[in-house]
Structure 1
Amino acid sequence: MQDAERTARPRKRGPYTKSADRRQEIVEAAFCEFSENGFRGATMKAITERIGVTQPLIYSYFPNKAELLTAVLELRDQRGDDIGPLDASRPIESVRALVKLMRHNQAHPGIVALHCAIAGEAIMADHPAHESFRRRYVQARTRIGAILEACRDSGHLKKGLDPERSARVVIAVMDGLQTQWMLEPTTERLGEEFEVFMHTIVDF
């Protein structure tokens, strides 16, 4: 009986769990701040005010704003991967996953705002997210290109299209639709518009 009571009794959270939770809270607050104001416009003070902590506490987790941005971008990518993994061995499912991702983004404008705000700034070589965005686009072209190549091999890519070039266009359409949607959210439908476009290059 005593063993059962001990098993049923909730365990107290240890210091590591509390620390991980606090770190996640900081990253979530920074996510919102960077989404609304970009990297250069966001301040550590504004991030602290969102969650009611002191700046020294944030600096104990992230020594500078650039490292905090890195954590925010990792969170964004993780959320994207959770929607639907891209796998060239399952090309049609992966195409559908891209459409699902755009529908998800439409329901979560903060993700889109973060991408648009930071991407514009990250063009500059001295921006702390410059390398992250450059690497991300290279990886996206590679992954989507492999998926479209598999679509071609299985007869689902429209005739005459080059997978590598088409991958660049797919990424451009995704970014372009998102930017337009942020400017005019009442007139653009990310998932629907993107799905219509994908049907012009892939039979799925």
Structure 2
Amino acid sequence: MRNAAQEIAVIPATRPADGFTLVELMVTLSVMAVLASIALPSFQGTIRLNRVSTENNEFIAALNLARSEAIKARSISEMCASADGVTCGTDWSLGWMVWSDLNRDGDVDAPAEVVRFERGNPQVTVVANIPGIAPGTSAVRYNGRGQPVLPGGTVFPANVVTMHPLACASGADHLRDIQVARTGQIRTVSGVCP
């Protein structure tokens, strides 16, 4: 049998409570705040680049669709700047639409079929520079052979559409030039913001 002295010796010692002290918590939060302030600017650059890449991919998909529609219908197909998906405009940053010009009058009307409309990202600037036409031109046309053409039907040498984020820091690799060759082939060239 155990006696009372042995019973008292068996009581375990109290141990400290689990968890963080207030000082440890404050130090951890301070370190996290410093790391977040360092990471945030580079994360914003990544977000801007992702926006431009997404717009670039959407624009190329629409150009390829316009070319494909022209070849399929053996007629004129056009991709134009559009804010509403019903009429052509002049500001590519607001959006664009692809349509088939079945009666070849250059207007979106009853016989014309709107194939696709894409609203632009308000955080990305899109500017078209088409040789032979004033800057800010609102349309890229393809003939039935899939070649980019001017309104009179002349094949133009190259088309350049430039995209960059609204907040484009000088020297940042966020600029994209979409180039359309005489054959209708499309490529993207990366550049730096001015």
Task: With the length of structure 1 as denominator, give the TM-score of the two structures.
Answer: 0.24
Task: With the length of structure 2 as denominator, give the TM-score of the two structures.
Answer: 0.25
Q: Which has the higher contact order (CA 8 A, sep 6+)?
A: 1
Give 1 or 2: higher helix fraction.
Answer: 1
Give 1 or 2: higher strand fraction.
Answer: 2
Larger radius of gyration: 2
